[in-house]
Amino acid sequence: MTAALALGDDALVLSHRLGEWAGHAPVLEEEVALANIALDLLGQARMLLSFVGDEDQLAYLREERAFRNVQLVEQPNGDFAHTMARQLYFSVYQHLLYEELAAGEGEFADLAAKAVKEVAYHRDHAEQWVLRLGDGTAESHERMQLGLDALWRFTGELFEPVGGVDIDRSALSDRWLAAVTSVVERATLTVPSGPQSGAWAAGAGRQGLHTEPFGRMLAEMQHLHRSHPGASW
């Protein structure tokens, strides 16, 4: 239950954040791409939350402190480079995690085997953008670096143990760092040097403690359902 909630909330919250780009993306193709990625994540969230209970109840009627997503996914979109930094950090993690879950025999193996193929496209999308922006103009390079730096302190939480997910977290963390480093360096950018975890880093989302922007995001995500319970079209 803990694991389904944690992984399901990660997918749900990031899906909503990516959906916020609708009508705001720099070009039409990116608007469509981000909406497609959000849709994949929403599908994963629905299946994961259904392991726990009623998906609508869980998505729309829980209070902030009942959510178990990592703080990385709830961070506001910022500029496009900032969103791509978040996408790189998260999609590399999710791809490696799902690969491992798909190879196992746990309760998420079937879902992971399906979702890993979708997430491979998300990861590729993020990597290609980090390369283009990092190795682009002086302006895009600077903004991409700012995005990577700003979100770095949220990445340690990705590798904290989650009850019910029986994998080697420290090996996962090593593989994640190697993959992210490879992309960042090819993009002529610098891997941030600050702490990923510890007193100066962030990360208590799995315990239900969230950053300030998350409450506002939930208010927007939930208000329609709360105002019109059971509404549908």
Partner 1 sequence: MVTTETPLEAELHRLAGSVPDPELPVLTLDELGVLRGVRVDGPDKVTVRLTPTYTGCPAIEAMSADIERVLLDHGVAEVSVVTVLAPAWSTDNISDEGRRKLAEFGIAPPRQGGGPGGPVPLTLSVRCPHCGSTDTELLSRFSSTACKALRRCVACREPFDHFKEL
Which positions touch partner 1 (CB under 8 A)?
29-30, 32-33, 35-37, 39-44, 46-47, 109-111, 113-115, 117-118, 120-121, 124-125
CA angle, 215 then 217 then 219, to 5° = 70
Q: Which of 103, 204 has the CB closer to partner 1? A: 103
- We find the least distance from the C-beta atom of residue 75 to partner 1, in angstroms, to be 22
CB of 87 to partner 1, least distance (A): 13
74 vs 127, which CB is nearer to partner 1? 127
Nearest to 165 by CA among 111, 126, 84, 121: 111
* DSSP-derived 3-state class of residue 201: coil
Q: φ, ψ for residue 106 (rounded to 5)?
A: -75, 180
Nearest to 30 by CA among 106, 101, 126, 107: 126
**Cβ atoms within 10 Å of 30's Cβ, excluding its own:** 17
Nearest distance in Å: CB 163, partner 1: 23
Closer Cβ to partner 1, 15 or 75, answer by number:
15
Name the residue nearer to partner 1 (CB basis): 18 or 180: 18
Q: Which is nearer to partner 1, 6 or 11 (CB)?
A: 11
Q: Where are the alpha helices (DSSP H) in 75-211?
A: 80-103, 109-134, 138-152, 169-186
The answer to whether the CB of 88 falls within 8 A of the CB of 187 is no
CB atoms within 10 A of CB 78: 16
Structure tokens belonging to residue 125: 């999308």
**For the chain, what is the radius of gyration of the CA atoms?**
17
Distance CA 56, CA 58 (A): 5
CB of 215 to partner 1, least distance (A): 26
